[in-house]
Structure 1
């Protein structure tokens, strides 16, 4: 029973960070109907921003954390303005958006490698938290794992409030339902698209810092978004509650696989889950059936 609870806690921790990444996918997909594969590059930038704000500029952790998230929000908006907006203006097919997103992701990864002062070197965050874990009986909870869960939960609750109880949130809901009708009703859909990219980028920056703290920082760290994409598909692309539920379930499934079977099967189980969902229920747990699941 102790091992079960320990793995459950670990799964909730990692799943909550997956959720921060997955909501970025879902926000973009809900309005633009394509999967933003450049999201991984934004997360990678967040990990590096947090690292350099802490080490090079010696900022307090809270400020470094906030500045990293704000910087990645700006990066996400720049990607939308330079890469996706010209395609939207030309009414390009959605396949072009996917190809452009993959190109943007590769570009961001390689630009980091090409910068002499950064390069492909693995970097480790300086100690921020005491490594002594919390203990509840025989259960051990790492301080970083607790921080990851708490920060993710707060961010997701704030996002839910923003979407359900603010004017811009209502505009996002309307635009996701029908972007053309929303524009005819006076909603500035171009601004709404900027807003969802900024929100997705902000959460990507938070996730990047948390992952960088837990593991290491390197140019390919954005590949972790493959897991968040699986979680978004599992929960239902375009559905924020689905993205959160899918992420938490994926985190729990992965940790139980590592704890009870083998860590070698962790990634295998995730991709088997993706294939299974696409075959059995392509819309995911809470998503709507659409023609494209790009």
Structure 2
């Protein structure tokens, strides 16, 4: 029994760490612009494909493919902000318009991939690491699971350093508190928004490639961000520590449910958790109270 419990803990931490990379992208955008960027799933999907084709078509080393995936997603996130969100922001459009535009952008990216030569085919990453697990006693630690956890942990620590210890991080924190106030204090809000989309896009690319390596790549892979959105709501939209904590908890809950009950109940529990949080504590575990929340 204890061995099964430890195995599920390891599995939960690995998948929860990738959820965290995705959820942080939601929280970064929400903390500044106060809306949920549902197009984030499309950015993750593109990142997964960039990593796949970098390894199979370009045949570059794993590290180079990882960098290409991150930077490709970062560029896409910035382009989307400039084309989709900035015109709405300049017109002071209602937050509902941002959400509708985000959903449209996500569907657009998904269908562009399906209509392209890539098509709707499921694709598996080539073997980069040995499939033989690392044995910790009688508990198996997959090499990809370890990679997912380590890369996610390092990426999130770098992000925390940027937010807490740098000048641009100070600007991000000031803007998240009050856009109007930070503008009056001389903060370039356009630059701050550019930076958060870059950071969110970079993390989305990493998450997309890690998730694609763990499972498969297909145009609807971005739907997994539903789980990261649940994690962000659970931890508190707008809170980076909350997004990480919520993601890890969701990963652990899912693996425990799969291990002790059935994988069929995994999504049921996840969405039930979302409803419960919205009813009992809409701001999440560590979220901030805002007038507009969507």
TM range (shorter): over 0.9
After superposition, the C-alpha distances for 1:6-49 in whole angstroms (9 at most, x for unaligned) are 00010000000000000000000000000000000000000000
- Residue 211 of structure 1 and its aligned partner are, at CA, apart by 0.5
What does residue range 172-191 of structure 1 map to in structure 2 within 5 Å? Answer: 172-191=172-191
What does residue range 64-143 of structure 1 map to in structure 2 within 5 Å? Answer: 64-116=65-117, 118-143=118-143
* Residue of structure 1 in register with 2:271 after alignment: 271
What does residue range 135-154 of structure 1 map to in structure 2 within 5 Å? Answer: 135-154=135-154
What does residue range 1-294 of structure 1 map to in structure 2 within 5 Å? Answer: 1-116=2-117, 118-294=118-294
CA distance in 2, matches of 1:292, 1:236: 14
- Residue 66 of structure 1 and its aligned partner are, at CA, apart by 0.6
Aligned residue for 2:122, secondary structure, equals coil
- Residue 86 of structure 1 and its aligned partner are, at CA, apart by 0.2
- Residue 87 of structure 1 and its aligned partner are, at CA, apart by 0.1
CA distance in 1, matches of 2:292, 2:19: 23
Aligned residues: 293
CA distance in 2, matches of 1:127, 1:162: 33
Report the aligned-residue RMSD.
Answer: 0.5
- Residue 289 of structure 1 and its aligned partner are, at CA, apart by 1.7
Aligned residue for 1:153, secondary structure, equals helix
CA distance in 2, matches of 1:251, 1:279: 21
CA distance in 1, matches of 2:219, 2:132: 29
- Residue 291 of structure 1 and its aligned partner are, at CA, apart by 2.4
Gaps of 5+ in 2: none
**TM-score normalised over the length of structure 1:** 0.99
CA distance in 1, matches of 2:161, 2:195: 15
- Residue 220 of structure 1 and its aligned partner are, at CA, apart by 0.1
**TM-score normalised over the length of structure 2:** 0.99
CA distance in 2, matches of 1:291, 1:258: 37
CA distance in 1, matches of 2:209, 2:88: 31
Gaps of 5+ in 1: none
CA distance in 1, matches of 2:89, 2:211: 33
